[in-house]
Structures are given as structure tokens and as C-alpha cells.
A and B are shown apart, each in its own frame.
Chain A
Amino acid sequence: MERIREKLTILADAAKYDVSCASSGSNRKNTKGGVGDTGSGICHSYAEDGRCVSLLKILLTNFCIYDCAFCISRKSNQIKRAAFTVKEVVDLTMNFYRRNYIEGLFLSSGIFKNADYTMERMLAIVKKLRLEENYNGYIHLKTIPGASQELVAEAGLYADRMSINLEMPTEAGLKAVAPEKSHTEVRRQLATVNHQLVRFDDERRIIRSVPKFVPAGQSTQMVVGATPETDWQVLHTAAEFYNTYALKRVYYSGYIPINTDERVPMLNSQPPLMREHRLYQADWLMRFYGFAADEIVNATQPHLELEVDPKLSWALRHPQFFPVDLNRADFKTMIRVPGIGRQSAQKIIATRQFGKIYVHQLKKMGIAYNRAQYFVTCTDALNRYTDKDPQHMRALILKTGQSKYTALLAPQLPLF
């Protein structure tokens, strides 16, 4: 018992810097006599850092032949090393899953011996789960850089999501901290899986019984704050990968110094949590709110403002689009208003069929009216702010509320 406890502690500790814990987006249902299904995703618990615990997130091993400056498991680090057997991972997953602790397995690994050897072991685990244990819960599988296309394509038949990390937002940044890795290799892997995904989808349109292939799609992760890229570069890379490889998610991980290395920020420097938060907001604007990366940040303003969120920042820079008349505006226009989200916009449109829109209704619907009031008109609210200068409006908005993040803003020291 003590040995498995130690292994789990080491290999969970090493895996926690992968931020993805999504368990949604798959459509795998339980089979007869089997256990588990997937759906809209469930966070079964939350760690003390407030991050969701949805999947059993572990490394198969933290032995690694690489020496990446930002990674806790790099070859040159003097740390305890361990490796799970195939059976140990399967038993852990099944017993946790049956007790409703988790939504599934997130399996990553350091690279021992070589890429294919590691990938084969990971493949053996997911096959055993699916074929012997009748397990239909969620599986997120990291692909190993350098693994052969055949192994990656076969793993796709059993995993719900696959991912491989970009690590740094630009190739130059990556080369500086991880000379053995490259974006080219990441692109090759993402393209292999995406190509298969499209092929399977096409075939499924003709033959319904075509097996599932990575039904929850692919994702990737970038570390921000370890290398000197701007937010503009980060969001551009994200947008390009969303488009080219049809990724479901790009994750941004504020760099937490774990190694002493002059190529990355020193130990005990503050992780850039606020910047990370703003990047996620910008990511949402790109995926759900119809914003292009260049509208959010551009060459003249390459960084996201930390003080205000990116939508508000955009609105203050573009007074020509406001005020928006909520009795007439279409969905696309309304969701660009700070304080109005997609659900609120849908409710406004539904309600408009029954009469004009009034302020008290907006407040009831869950619109952040304190913020939206500067940018909208409706039946009983004429906009008093149209002539106001944006700087003045910004000051007004910042004065009301927002205090949630002031504590986070204060210790944000420049890293470079």
C-alpha cells in the first residue's frame, strides 16, 4: 500500500501543471453491461487552488529523456522518479470511477527509452480500459512528441480527447527553453489526428457504425510568462491553431517557477495569474463572441489590459458602435456589449416578441446592468453617456465594483 501511495503522490504531483481538466464534449454512452458514460462534463471536486478536479490526472512515468527548462520532470532535476504499471493505472481509474470520484482519466507521461515505447504503454492502458473493463468514461490522452503516426492514430480509437502541448507561444520561445522540442512536431501530431477525425466523420455520414475517433476533439496548451512573447503573439498562435487544426481548446498556463534556470523567470516570482485570466477571457471572445484576434490586441496595443476585461477594453476603444438599441439590435451586436452575455442576449430577443424592453426586466434577466448601462439604450433608458470621453467612462466603470481582482492586480510585477 505504501508503494502505490508514493507512486500516486509523485506522478500526480508531476502531472498537475497540465491545466486541461475538461471532461465535456464527448458523446460516448454506456454499453450493455458496461460502466461509465460521458456528456456535458462534471467537476467532481475542486483543489485548494480553486481548479477543478474532474479527471484522475497522472503521468505514466516521470522518467524523461528530455531536459526542458520549464518542466519539473526534466532529466537534470534531482527528484524522486516512479512509473506505474499498466494494471496499476487501470485499477486506480476503475476504482476511483466506480466511487464517483472522477469523470475519467487524464494520462500523460515523461518519455522513457523512446517516444514509441512510451506511447505503446499508454495505448496498452486505454485498450485494457475499453476492451477488458468495459469502461466508457472519459479518457484524455496526451500524445508523445515523436511517436509514430500509426500508434497515435490507433490511440484515437479509444481516447475521447487527445492533446499535445505547444509549450511556448512561438517556435523561437520554445527553442530557447526546450531545444529538443519543436512546433513542427506538434503540428505534425495535431494534423495526423485531425486528418483521421475528418476522415472518420466523412465515413460516418455514409455508414453509421463507423467507430468513434477522438469524439471530444483535440486541445493544446501554452505556458505564458516563461518567455517574453506578447499577448498579441499568444492570441495569434491560438487563433491560427484553432483554425488550422480545428482545436476544441487552447489552454494558457501562467508560468509557475519550479526550476532554477537563467532562461526562465527565477524561483519565487509571482505567477502571472491576472494575465492568464485575461487571456482566457480573450479566448472566449474569439470562440463564442465573434471577435477576431486583431480586434482584441494588435501591433499598436500588443498586450491585454490587466485593469479591464478585453470586451470592455474593446468597447471603450470603439465608441462608434455604441450605444446599442436593445429593442432592435441583432444577436451578434448585442453580445459585443460589455455586461451582456450569450444567454442574456437570447433572453432579450425572446422577450422582444412580447413587447418593449425595460430596464427592470434587464436587471431580472441577469444582465450586468451596472456595466451595460454605458453602452445601451432601451425603452426607458436613454443613454446619457454617448458624449462622454472614453477615459472618463473608464474611470466611472472602474469606480463601480470590479474590486474582485484588485488584490490580484497589486502584486503583478513585471517579469522582464
Chain B
Amino acid sequence: MPPIITHHTVVQYVFDGSFPGLLTAVFESYAARHDIVTLFEQDKVRNNFFDPVIIITTAPEKALRVWNGLKKKLTTAQQVQYYSAFLAEDTVIIQQLFNYARYVFDHAAGAAANYGHPAVMAVQQMAQKVSRERHRMTAFVRFQKTAAGLYVSAVEPDYNVLPLICKHFKDRYADQQWMIYDGKRKYGIYYDLQTIHEVQIEAAAPGAIVHAAEILPDASEALYSTLWKDYFKSTHIKERKNTKLHIRHVPKRYWRHLTEKQPD
């Protein structure tokens, strides 16, 4: 006989880790009247042996219904915060996002402004961290121009922020082809003068012919990267040297992709 689940029971949900998956989990918890849910991502399961486990199958139409519901209750800024916090790819915040959605649905519109609520506070704080990383990526991307005219850049952001910076780069560099590649998450965004595509780079198979123009730097590249390094050195006032502050603003983990931090 299967265990009887009442709404007082703790139920464990396992989902696929995607954003629609999270929203589907919220949907199912209402459909099945599960009030107390602990949420786990597939492959990262650390569930206990006592509480019943339910596998959530991601359903786009259910996810969309939940998202539309959230949109009615959240301001635009709060919607962005919700999605941003999700991009942190953090197991603790997944649970808070679930609780946040439940809390918002169970209360009148405006509840998401209650910073006294633990889930609201947690989501807001995580969104702030992700937003800071998003901002850093708008700053620390350094393009190198290739002979083919493509501007390429590699980054390794702490959080998965490429979806949040697409628009910024598209608006700004509308007349040049560019690509930003996330080396940590092994995907990039590529702009072809029309739209942005998500791209994956596969290591070229041995013996494969790689189009030389794609890798050769443009003739101007050496000049301008050198000038930039010169400028970076000249603009520093040595009487005010403050290494601690410098490193706080530009943490060392970002240095390997910054042109001005490369040796001459």
C-alpha cells in the first residue's frame, strides 16, 4: 500500500534543475496540495529515506501558467530578481525560490516587498549578487579583433550571467560581429549583426582544417592592446597606490581574461 500523503507531510520533489522545472514544481505542489516541500535537483539528490519522493516532469505549459501568475503579483524589477537569483545555480536558493513563489501566491499582491520574510530576503540578496556579476561582465569583457572582423572574448563568470548581458552588448555593438564565450559553462553568445545565437565550441578533431582567418588576429590588434596596456599604466597615480582597493574592485580571478593584466 502506498504511503498516504497529507498536506502536513514533508514531501521531497526531484526536478531537472531548469527554470521551467522549478516553476512546474510550484504548479504540482498546488495541484497535489503539498504544503511542505523540499526541492532537489536531479543528480544532486541528497534526499532522506523517510519522506516520500516525487519526480517532477518539466511541463512547459504548466511552467508558463505559474510564470504568468507570478507576473501578475510581481513588479518588473521583482521578476528580473527572481530569474537572476535562479541563474546563481545555487542549491539553497532553489528552495528559497520555491518558497518565494508559494509565499507570493498565498498572499495578496505586494507581498514580495516584505523584506522581513526569509525567502524574499534570500532571493533579493542572491539577485543582488548575480546582478553584481552581470555588471562585472559588462565591464570586464575584453574583445580581441580577428582578421575575419569578429570580436571575440572569453569569460568565466561566477554565475551564469550571459543571458543577462545579451541585450547590453547587442545594443552597444550593433554594427560589429562579436562573440562572448563562457569557459566555465562551455557555451557562448554570438551576434551576427542581426540576432544573438547561443553557440558551443567543440574542440577541433585531430587533423581537421580550422579556417585560419577565424583565429588570426586582426593587423590592428597588437597595436591597440599594447596602447591599452600603456594607458592603464600611465593613468595610475603612484602617490595614491592602494593595492587592497585595486584588488577589491578587480578580484584576481578575473585577471587572466583582462588585456591590461597580461604581460607585455
Within the complex, the shortest CB–CB distance from A269 to chain B, in Å, comes to: 10
A256: contacting residue among B143, B226, B240, CB under 8 A: B240
A36: contacting residue among B111, B144, B172, CB under 8 A: B172
The 22 listed contacts between A and B (C-beta, < 8 Å) are: A5-B227, A5-B230, A9-B233, A12-B231, A15-B235, A36-B172, A42-B138, A45-B250, A46-B245, A46-B249, A47-B237, A50-B244, A50-B245, A51-B237, A95-B220, A96-B231, A99-B142, A100-B141, A100-B173, A101-B259, A256-B240, A354-B117
- Whether the pair A30, B246 counts as a contact (CB closer than 8 A) is no
Check: A210 CB closer than 8 A to any chain B CB. no
Assuming the contacts A35-B175, A350-B113, asked whether A42 and B237 have C-beta atoms less than 8 A apart, the reply is no
Check: A49 CB closer than 8 A to any chain B CB. yes
- Whether the pair B115, A361 counts as a contact (CB closer than 8 A) is yes
Nearest 8 interchain pairs by C-beta? A50-B245, A49-B240, A12-B234, A46-B249, A50-B242, A47-B236, A354-B114, A350-B113
Q: Which A residues from 1 to 23 make CB contacts under 8 A with B?
A: 1, 4-5, 8-9, 12-13, 15-17
- Whether the pair A13, B234 counts as a contact (CB closer than 8 A) is yes
Place the interface of chain B in its size category. 35 or more
Check: B243 CB closer than 8 A to any chain A CB. yes
B116: contacting residue among A8, A273, A354, CB under 8 A: A354
Check: B5 CB closer than 8 A to any chain A CB. no
- Whether the pair B173, A9 counts as a contact (CB closer than 8 A) is no
> How many A-B Cβ pairs are below 8 Å?
154
Check: B80 CB closer than 8 A to any chain A CB. no
- Whether the pair B227, A273 counts as a contact (CB closer than 8 A) is no
Q: Which B residues from 1 to 30 make CB contacts under 8 A with A?
A: none
Check: B211 CB closer than 8 A to any chain A CB. no
A49: contacting residue among B113, B246, B260, CB under 8 A: B246
Q: Which residues of B contact A396 (CB under 8 A)?
A: none
Closest chain A residue to B250, Cβ basis: A46
Number of interface residues of A (CB under 8 A): 54
- Whether the pair A37, B172 counts as a contact (CB closer than 8 A) is yes
Residues of B within 8 A of A (CB): 110-111, 113-117, 121, 135, 138-145, 151, 153, 171-176, 220, 223-228, 230-246, 248-250, 258-260
Q: Which residues of A contact B140 (CB under 8 A)?
A: 44-45
Q: Which residues of A contact B235 (CB under 8 A)?
A: 12-13, 15-16, 47, 53, 57
- Whether the pair A56, B231 counts as a contact (CB closer than 8 A) is yes
Q: Which residues of B contact A53 (CB under 8 A)?
A: 232, 235
Within the complex, the shortest CB–CB distance from A327 to chain B, in Å, comes to: 12
- Whether the pair B232, A30 counts as a contact (CB closer than 8 A) is no
